[in-house]
Structure 1
Amino acid sequence: MIMDSRISSATYFNQGLAGMTTAQNAIAKAMQEISSGQKEIRASSDPSTTASLVELDRSVSRLQQYQRNADAADARLGQAENTLQGMSETLSRARELAIQFNNGVHDDVSRQAMRDEFGQLRDQMLSLANTRDERGDYLFSGSQVGTAPYASAVSAFAGDTRGLNISVAEGRSVRAGWTAEGLQGALQTLDDMASDTSLTTVDAARFDSLVQAQDLAITLRAQVGNSMNAVELARADNEGELYGYTATLSALRDTDYASAITELNKQTLVLQATQSTLARVQGLSLFNEL
């Protein structure tokens, strides 16, 4: 009878120790979740949730990259819009000056003053055509963003005509780089009028080159506006998807503080009860030995 009692006491004691370990682990888990703000999720115990979290994290990361691309495209587009406006204004002044150059009788001093201004307009156009973005990439060299479109006002266009596209959403990209090849005639005209003192008029072909270049600047600016609208739409769509994904991630990963605190209190009571039971069992064991 004494032997049976000892066996029963040992069994209760071992079960109590196991219960204490379980309660202590549960308390540690609850405290960790409360302090970190995130649930403890392990692939071994919850493979489905773990797989969902991995996929959601990938989706969020992809959308965040699209948003960074959209920001970069937006900055580039804004700079392009300002540059093209500057081109249009410069070419408009060049046309006015060409008309002035052709009208009336001018002495050498006034003609030289106009040639000097043609030279200034040439330099402005060359600088605008070779505009770089904040990363140092050229805006108007097509896809050859590391190559200046024009080495000088009389050099050939060094870029290409492919343009540059930037991905801003799933399956969507926007044009964010253009070709300035069509400006070559205008640059040549401005250089001719600035440097060739034998010219006393701006002929029709040269004047047309200024008109065509201004038309190109206006057309490109409209394309830039379309791209800016597309970026805004893509950014709004990305934000909507990000909100949904982050809300789902929060529901799966973030600590439910009310539940965690309830579990902590519950397991604390279980631990205290188990410790009390073990103390009684241990006391009975000593009594039986006596």
Structure 2
Amino acid sequence: MRVSTSQTYQRSLSLMSNLSAKADLQQSQIASGKKVMAPSDDPGAYRQLAGIKRAEAGDQAYAANVETAQGILEQSDDTLGNIEAQLQRATELFTNAGNDTLSPSDRDTIGKELDSIRDTLFALANTRDSRGQPLFGGATGDLPFTKAPDGTITYVSSGEPAGIPIGDQTVIQVGVTGDRAFASGSSDIFAVIAAFTTALGSGGDIRAAASTAAAGTSEALVNVTLAHASVGARGTRLEMVADQLGYAATARDDARSKVEDVDLAATISEFQQTLTVLQATQASFTKLTALSLFDYLR
């Protein structure tokens, strides 16, 4: 009888301990809304959640990079638009300067405006992005254009700038190097404008100089337009990547919810049942421990 009573005590104690632990877990799940909070809760589910969190962290970094890249491309788009406007104005001035009816004073005014346009283009060509990197620079990260004491403007960068990671083993270039954009060969707009203003001031064949300058500016405009289109295409690509990252985030959130989130109504119901069983077990154990040896002998 002593052995039997001892075993009964032990079974009751073990049952109450298990029920109490179960009630504590259910209560924690109800409070947190999570059913997996530690590896011991569900090792397989915990590993799955860890994988989801790693993927989420990686994609969040890529999403931040996409946002940065989009901002830089928007800045490039605006800057290239300003450059196009300056080139178009320069073309108008070349045409006007070739008019034989203009006075020397008018030509002087045109020359001064062209010098201002050249300075504006120089500043635009050395624009820095939100990271402090030149929009039209090369691999070194230095300003791409320099101006010599005599006013000569030269492209000094080389190579391609580092791309921005936007996915696993995927990077995107957000800049256009200055030599490709508006400073290559006969379309070097800085040289084109400088040559024309020199001719304008010397009083030579302005009509021929204006024709040459207009041709060079037209070629430069083609280069800028191509760079502008390239920026737009990359912006479209980034929109697609951003959408894909958004879809992946939604899918991961659904997967995480299925593994981790508690069915609150069901868990509350189970918690109430656990408490009921625990209370009944505690009541039975109390009665059992109150039994004396006399109670057994009666």
After TM superposition, the structure 1 stretch with the greater mean CA deviation from structure 2, 28-37 or 146-155, is 146-155
1:244 lines up with 2:216 in the alignment:
no
**What's the CA shift string for 1:173-201, capped at 9, x where partnerless?**
43311111143321133344457732543
2:193 matched residue in structure 1: 190
Distance 2:83 2:33 in 1: 55
Alignment of 1:40-189 (within 5 A): 40-44=36-40, 46-144=42-140, 146-152=141-147, 154-170=152-168, 172-182=170-180, 183-184=182-183, 185-189=188-192
Corresponding letter in the other structure for 1:35: A
Q: How many residue pairs align between the two structures?
A: 285
2:21 matched residue in structure 1: 25
Asked whether the equivalents of residues 97 and 110 of structure 2 are also in contact (C-alpha less than 8 Å), the reply is yes
Gaps of 5+ in 1: none
Asked whether the equivalents of residues 144 and 157 of structure 2 are also in contact (C-alpha less than 8 Å), the reply is yes
Change (3 A) 1:71 1:286: farther
Change (3 A) 1:239 1:199: farther
Asked whether the equivalents of residues 153 and 190 of structure 2 are also in contact (C-alpha less than 8 Å), the reply is no
Corresponding letter in the other structure for 1:179: T
TM-score of the superposed pair, with normalisation by structure 1: 0.88
Corresponding letter in the other structure for 2:58: R
Corresponding letter in the other structure for 2:270: E
1:262 lines up with 2:263 in the alignment:
no
1:231 lines up with 2:238 in the alignment:
yes
1:280 matched residue in structure 2: 287
Corresponding letter in the other structure for 2:274: Q
3-state SS of the aligned residue for 2:29? helix
Corresponding letter in the other structure for 1:151: T
Asked whether the equivalents of residues 143 and 161 of structure 1 are also in contact (C-alpha less than 8 Å), the reply is yes
Gaps of 5+ in 2: none
TM-score of the superposed pair, with normalisation by structure 2: 0.86
**TM-aligned CA deviation for residue 116 of structure 1:** 1.2
Distance 2:21 2:289 in 1: 23
**TM-aligned CA deviation for residue 161 of structure 1:** 4.1
Distance 1:70 1:181 in 2: 26
3-state SS of the aligned residue for 1:156? strand
Identical amino acids, percent of aligned pairs: 25
3-state SS of the aligned residue for 2:274? helix
Distance 1:150 1:278 in 2: 89
**What's the CA shift string for 1:221-255, capped at 9, x where partnerless?**
11111111111111222222221111001110111
